């Protein structure tokens, strides 16, 4: 396979910048995932659509991923990242205006625009690997993901300060998100990345990029997409419903913020060693362990609705997501040639976030429209994880068998 010119010193510099970017710009997503469903429930007349604003963020990410990936392939990562941050500020502005005029439709429109930021953030992990050696690649991806640990602490706690700072509920949070985007975007100027796939940056590819059909016939790409899709979808399914379940069970909005904060910390804290574990034990084993942890989270959630159950379940969801998703990303980055980067990454994120969109839509329906109580709705959300965990587990087993046959 043809490699981009390797420069781990430069790759390490980029990782440091991207960690800072995650820490600042990344605050907005945990903030939105806490207040999105609550604000949606306040604005809509049908509680089954309470989580629609969150779903539209993910849907916006799905529809953005293919063209944003192609844009980055042509114009460079930094250009695409600036587009994402500008969209994040614009989306927060529109959502804030929707809250101000009490319009669910306008609020949802702002959420959709915010999806462009979420899509751009998803490419940070790929940017970390662009000029990294194969040995440093899983560590680079892990360290950049670890930058989310800071945003996991700051975002929900910042939310607590500003969530009721305005007469209009939740408006203060969106005003802060605008500032985060406008300030944090200047960090992209410090990145040193290839500007595209020109001959100055890559060795000329002897073959044209594989077609989408050919790409999807590669077992490594298929399994990485399936595992990434399942890990991200199930994490989103449960996290989207959590604030509604917590408040519905009689706890406070601050409790919901604290639980989401613990969850997002658990998503990113393992990143300091996930790359090392992948190098030592293999990517398939780490993805498999991640799936088992996600299953354990469902068992804890179904065991009760005490505050401790919510905390432990969401912490396990975060750790399981980390192992499964970083493993899937690592497997994907080792499955294509540099000149196929834009096509494969765009395809991957479109499929992954398309399924996450469905999961977030299903989350609100399962939570609010299944059974007669909050507890029954919360149970339905967690039972829904089962078939998808089996799907991803089967995919990993299939890949393992194929690799053994080739040895």
The mean pLDDT of 150-164, rounded to a whole number, is 83
For residue 119, count other CB atoms closer than 10 A to its CB.
Answer: 29
Q: What is the pLDDT of residues 362-381, one digit of tens each?
A: 887 888 777 778 899 999 99
Residue bearing the bigger pLDDT, 320 or 59? 320
* Nearest in space to 124 (alpha carbons), one of 74, 174, 68, 77: 77
Whether residue 69 has pLDDT greater than 70: yes
In the chain, where the domains are located: 8-193+209-406
The mean pLDDT of 209-234, rounded to a whole number, is 91
Tell me how far apart the alpha carbons of residues 77 and 126 are, in angstroms, rounded to a whole number: 9
Q: What is the pLDDT of residues 2-18, one digit of tens each?
A: 444 455 788 888 888 99
Tell me how far apart the alpha carbons of residues 121 and 392 are, in angstroms, rounded to a whole number: 24
Place of tokens 């916006």: 60
Specify the CATH superfamily of domain 8-193+209-406. Answer: MFS general substrate transporter like domains (1.20.1250.20)
Tell me how far apart the alpha carbons of residues 14 and 223 are, in angstroms, rounded to a whole number: 28
């Amino acid at each position: 396979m043809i490699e981009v010119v390797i420069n781990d010193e430069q790759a390490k510099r980029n990782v440091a910048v991207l960690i800072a970017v995650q820490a600042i710009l990344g605050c907005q997503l945990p903030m939105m995932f806490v207040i999105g469903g609550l604000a949606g429930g306040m604005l809509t007349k049908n509680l089954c659509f309470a989580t629609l604003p969150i779903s539209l963020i993910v849907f916006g990410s799905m529809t953005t991923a293919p063209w944003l990936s192609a844009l980055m392939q042509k114009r460079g990562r930094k250009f695409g990242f600036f587009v994402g941050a500008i969209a994040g500020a614009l989306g927060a502005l529109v959502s804030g205006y929707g809250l101000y005029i009490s319009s669910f439709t306008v609020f949802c429109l702002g959420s959709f625009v915010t999806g462009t930021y979420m899509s751009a953030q998803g490419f940070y992990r790929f940017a970390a690997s662009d000029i990294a050696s194969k040995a440093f690649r899983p560590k680079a991806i892990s360290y950049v993901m670890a930058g989310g640990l800071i945003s996991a602490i700051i975002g929900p706690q910042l939310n607590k300060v500003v969530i009721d700072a305005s007469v209009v509920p939740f408006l203060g949070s969106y005003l802060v998100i605008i500032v985060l985007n406008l300030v944090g975007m200047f960090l992209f100027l410090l990145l040193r990345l290839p500007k595209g796939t020109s001959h100055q940056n890559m060795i000329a590819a002897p073959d044209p990029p594989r077609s989408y059909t050919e790409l999807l016939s590669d077992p490594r790409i298929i399994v990485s997409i399936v595992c990434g899709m399942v890990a991200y979808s199930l994490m989103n399914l449960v996290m989207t419903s959590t604030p509604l379940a917590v408040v519905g069970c009689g706890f406070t909005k601050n409790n919901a913020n604290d639980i989401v904060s613990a969850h997002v910390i658990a998503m990113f804290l393992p990143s300091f060693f996930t790359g090392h574990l992948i190098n030592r034990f293999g990517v398939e084993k780490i993805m498999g362990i991640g799936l088992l942890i996600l299953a354990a989270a469902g068992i804890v959630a179904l065991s009760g609705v005490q505050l401790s159950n919510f905390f432990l379940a969401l912490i396990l969801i975060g750790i399981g997501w980390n192992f499964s998703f970083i493993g899937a990303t690592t497997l994907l980055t080792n499955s294509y040639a540099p000149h196929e980067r834009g096509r494969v990454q765009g395809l991957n994120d479109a499929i992954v976030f398309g399924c996450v969109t469905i999961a977030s839509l299903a989350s609100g329906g399962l939570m609010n429209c299944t059974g007669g109580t909050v507890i029954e709705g919360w149970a339905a959300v967690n039972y829904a994880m089962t078939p998808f965990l089996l799907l991803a587990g089967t995919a990993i087993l299939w890949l393992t068998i194929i690799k053994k046959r080739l040895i």
